[in-house]
Amino acid sequence: MSVPTIESVSSPAPEHSGQPKRVQGGLLDPTVLLHSLPDALRKLDPRTLWHNPVMLIVEIGAVWATLCTVANPSWFGWLIVAWLWLTVVFANLAEAVAEGRGKAQAETLRRTKASTTARRLTGWSPTSPGREEEVAAPLLRQGDIVVVEAGQVIPGDGDVVEGIASVDESAITGESAPVIRESGGDRSAVTGGTTVLSDRIVVRITQKPGDSFIDRMISLVEGANRQKTPNEIALNILLSALTIIFVFAVATLQPLAIFSKANNPGVPDTLALDGNGVTGIVMVALLVCLIPTTIGALLSAIGIAGMDRLVQRNVLAMSGRAVEAAGDVNTLLLDKTGTITLGNRQAAAFLPLRNVTDGQLADAAQLSSLADETPEGRSIVVFAKQQYGLRARTPGELTHANWIEFSATTRMSGVDLDGLQLRKGAAASVAEWIRAAGGTAPAQLGELVDSVSAAGGTPLVVGQIRDGKAAVLGVIHLKDVVKQGMRERFDEMRRMGIRTVMITGDNPLTARAIADEAGVDDFLAEATPEDKMALIKKEQAGGKLVAMTGDGTNDAPALAQADVGVAMNSGTSAAKEAGNMVDLDSDPTKLIEIVEIGKQLLITRGALTTFSIANDIAKYFAIIPALFVGLFPGLDLLNIMRLHSPQSAILAAVIFNAVVIVALIPLALRGVRYTPSSASKLLTRNLSVYGLGGIIAPFIGIKLIDLVVQLFPGM
């Protein structure tokens, strides 16, 4: 069965995802807009629009303006009505485009749910194979046992309880490279819709019907399960309050106009006045231009786009709250192995004893490591070749040699060759081997071993027996290598005001050495699950938000306790259930990217809110003089843009109010570029770029539109 990969219709696949890149249009590609337009029109239903109070008021105003224009037709009235309806459609279009990108991704996921038959086992136990029966995958229940063999699709989410297999997870992660799933340990979880490539596994189903991982992915990327975050709810309340205030303010204009007309019978009629006061169309135009329509139109799209940016990086956020919390994180807990370090210790130095040359030790270390297939053993061979120019030999070249492979029992590897015996391994094991051959371990060996351990490294000792004489040659310094660029990343975190804590099971000496090299703020050595929980609770008690990663069942309590818990997709079902995000690539360093995306979401929302409120200022200078200059000629001083006429001024303001929403959709979906810096610098940049820009841009835009509008007769 061919399983499709997740692809975005409007954004290139992440470089790390393994997905093929495609040439795609921009965020406002006509094809994307065309596909989103029907959804935007469907959202005109008040039952759908009620969740956005600002745009609901605009729609009510558009209906009222339409009725007024039908009763008293005019070109000006119909133009205002058209642009009012376009304002609502453009607002819905922003949300529809954001949701449309997710729906395209969801469609590929639905194809993974094609009819699949499960081979359910009844009466199965570790000692009994049970009886096999075929059932439709949707009929599986929690606790059911199924068997899956090479070439078959795993019918549901579960844990491997027997066997080991290579699994193609490209349907979920986009990565073409297969992964190993086996019973026991932290790599037992499998996902429905993925394909077994080799061997045979028995899986216990852990999902509830209709609640599989793919079901949740579909709901999440479509936005169906997107709940408003606390900050978003607070901002909606603020926007609603401002809208109510302006509704009352505009409603008072009719009585004010009637009163002014009655007390000034000589006042000439203007566009803004009829025999009874302010016209209904102009009142609606004023209201729509005064309320914060820009941010009201884009607020939902910003939240959806934030989750979409995570999906593009193969991270599933189980709620918008988790994305927002990531932007407010104060403390970052990171595992050392695989996150801060490469995870495989590598040879960093050869330390010979007295009377032993560097070359002699390097040659002996390489020979004794040729039969060691561990990453550490291979790194010794490579290090000897690169640093000492030794030719890369292979066991196949020395056919008369007796190779001693590394084993956990002996903790040594080596070779017996032409009367020479070489061994490399743990200090205690090699020292015992030397003593058994009648040799002694010199005092200098202990000093070298202690110095390597104190530096955070792992010492391996090389010894030899030549012509019946046993001797120690020196020490190999294995180092857990810190990933390139990690110190710079942690410096960025520090500039954001985020404290980084490394968690490791190493002893305090090793942990401190790695922490100093990586540049983290603190470390927790010899950490147990209870220690992680205690640290998280301590940070939270101080009013901080905590983020951490994990993949094992023992990480589940800490993931559930953390404000942002990122579970690895390769981990156990318990870890994925406990976290509020799942990293499909199982890359622990992605937690840093998640924090940056969360901060980008918050900054984007703040920037567009600032712009929305600031750009109302120009509209005041456009509409207020047009409304009341007939009553109060002195208000003409406020017409600083020198707009052509009251009609063109009002129409230009309404058109700009609609067009600016479309212009800002790409920014809302892409997000404001985030540069790590202090809160004060971010605020200064926000006010200077989006605050000042929000004031200046409408003056220019409204004036240009006015110049175009006045070309038409009657304006």
Q: Hey, which residues are catalytic here?
A: 335
Quick check: 253 and 283 in contact, CB under 8 A? Answer: yes
- Whole-angstrom CA distances from 597 to 340, 590, 676 are 20, 11, 12
The secondary element (H helix, E strand) that includes residue 148 is strand 145-149
| Torsions phi, psi for 180 (to 5 deg) | -100, 130
Quick check: 87 and 658 in contact, CB under 8 A? Answer: yes
- Rounded to an integer, what distance in angstroms lies between the CA atom of residue 508 and that of residue 513? 9
Pick the closest to residue 461 from 508, 527, 414 (CA basis).
Answer: 414
First CA to last CA across the chain, in angstroms? 65
Pick the closest to residue 677 from 689, 685, 687, 669 (CA basis).
Answer: 685
Token pair 């360093």: residue: 589
Helices (H), 19-140: 30-42, 46-49, 53-71, 75-111
How deeply is 471 buried, as exposed, middle or buried, from its count of CB atoms within 10 A (0-12, 13-18, 19+)? middle
Q: CA angle, corner 333, sides to 330 and 335, nearest 5?
A: 160
- Rounded to an integer, what distance in angstroms lies between the CA atom of residue 182 and that of residue 132? 21
Residues 6+ apart with CB under 8 A from 178: 166, 167, 168, 169, 197
Quick check: 107 and 678 in contact, CB under 8 A? Answer: no
Residues 6+ apart with CB under 8 A from 617: 695, 698
Beta bridge partners of 278: 273
User: Per the annotation, where are the binding residues?
Assistant: 372, 376, 406-413, 424, 551, 555
| Amino acid identity, position 583 | D
Quick check: 565 and 296 in contact, CB under 8 A? Answer: no
- Assigned token pair, 657: 């109010």
Q: In what order do the strands lie in the sheet with 458-466?
A: 341-352, 469-482, 458-466, 420-426, 412-417, 402-404
Neighbours of 227 (CB within 10 A): 10
- Rounded to an integer, what distance in angstroms lies between the CA atom of residue 555 and that of residue 573? 11
The DSSP line for 217-284 is HHHHHHTTT-PPPHHHHHHHHHHHHHHHHHHHHHHTHHHHHHHHHHH-TTPPP-TTB-SSSB-HHHHH
Token pair 């190999």: residue: 476
User: Per the annotation, where are the binding residues for Mg(2+)?
Assistant: 551, 555
The DSSP line for 646-678 is HHHHHHHHHHHHHHHHHHHHHHHHH-PPP----
Helix, coil or strand: residue 153? strand
User: Per the annotation, where are the binding residues for ATP?
Assistant: 372, 376, 406-413, 424
590 in the Ramachandran plot: left (φ > 0), alpha (ψ -120 to 50) or beta?
alpha
Beta bridge partners of 167: 179, 196
| Amino acid identity, position 66 | T
- Rounded to an integer, what distance in angstroms lies between the CA atom of residue 422 and that of residue 252? 97
The secondary element (H helix, E strand) that includes residue 680 is helix 679-686
